[in-house]
Structure 1
Amino acid sequence: MNKLFYPAIFHKAEEGGFWVSFPDFPECLTEGDNMEQAYEMAVDALGLAITSRMKEQQIIPGPSSVDTINIEDGFLVVIEFDMLAYKKRTNSKAVKKTLSIPQWLNEEAIARDINFSQALQEILITKIQEK
């Protein structure tokens, strides 16, 4: 569930720019002064809607099929949402972990001046991206 794709409807705002709604997340609305800003705001708003639902243990709906969406005023844009990138950007709080490794591995890593935290983070990110 790292990359998700959800349809959004971009509406022209009377004062200029766009406002954005999501058929699958009625509570999710945002806006931007231009197309680029509206898209970026839509990605962040979608991330907030998804993570809020996850925290509240609510169902995350699957994306609606684009051919079933009724668009009265505006146009359809598919928003790409990368959960891993969003979490990296919005939740980089460090947590302490205790782990055990063989003594010989500890000695070799220290001799090579390896940063344990950085090495573990790099390996975990690689493992997460593989799944």
Structure 2
Amino acid sequence: MFYPIVIHKDLDTAYGVTVPDLPGCFSAGDTMEEAVKNAVEAIECHVEGILIDNEDLPIPQNMEQHIYQPEYQGGTWALVEVDLSKLGGKTQRVNITLPERILSKVDRFTENTNQSRSAFLADAALEYINSHSSGKTAA
């Protein structure tokens, strides 16, 4: 799943990261690269806490939903990918049947994005459920 982040830098400070879709989720880094890497870890930790507490996981919004909000002005935006399939407890193996054509498309996509089939299918399922549910929350 992709989360938009906004990175701010003031003189003589580290790069600060805010995750607009996860209130209270912040991170930082001495370099831009470190800030982005640390943001992924912060999101994973934050989401794990939400799942442990059996709370609804907020759906990541498009960047455009946040860009014009005053608290994010002057920041640099990025999308970070978080593999939610490895969070939230024990995994369960399932056997599914897909048409060969669809499976080929999934495999090409996951190969190009360096994802596993399982991570892709978990993300796709959550995104589909979220877009078709009235509460608009994940997991």
TM-score range, shorter chain: 0.5 to 0.7
Measure, in 1, the Cα distance between the counterparts of 2:81 and 2:119: 16
2:7–2:77: 8 Å Cα contact kept in structure 1?
Answer: yes
**Map of 1:83 onto structure 2:** 84
- The residue aligned with 1:20 is 17
Structure with the bigger percentage of strand: 1
**Aligned AA for 1:72?**
Q
Q: TM-score of the superposition, structure 2-length normalised?
A: 0.57
What is the CA distance between 1:64 and its match in structure 2? 1.3
Query: For each residue in 1:17-47, what CA deviation from the matched residue of structure 2 results, as whole angstroms up to 9, or x when unmatched?
Result: 3100011112101100001110110000000
- Superposition map of 1:16-55 within 5 A: 16-55=13-52
CA distance 1:129–1:12, change in 2 (3 Å): closer
8 Å Cα contact 2:83-2:119 kept in structure 1: no
Name the CA shift for 1:127/1:74 in 2 (closer, same or farther; >3 Å): closer
Paired residue secondary structure (1:27): coil
Whichever of the two has the greater Rg, that structure is: 1
1:28 to 1:75, Cα distance in 2 relative to 1, 3 A? same
> What percent identity do the matched residue pairs reach?
26
What root-mean-square deviation, in Å, do the aligned CA atoms of Structure 1 and Structure 2 show? 2.3
Cα distance, 1:127–1:7 mapped onto 2, change above 3 Å: closer
SS across alignment from 2:61: coil
Pairs within 5 Å for 1:1-131: 4-69=1-66, 70=69, 71-84=72-85, 128=118, 131=121
- After superposition, the Cα gap between the structure-2 partners of 1:37 and 1:128, relative to the gap in structure 1 and judged at 3 Å, is same
Gaps of at least 5 residues in structure 2 are 90-115, 122-139
What runs of 5+ residues in structure 1 fail to find an aligned partner? 92-125
- The separation in 1 between residues aligned to 2:58 and 2:47, in whole angstroms, is 9
Is the 2:27–2:38 Cα contact (8 Å) retained in structure 1? yes
Closer, same or farther in 2 for the Cα pair 1:66/1:83, shift >3 Å? Answer: same
The code of the aligned residue for 2:36 comes to: Y
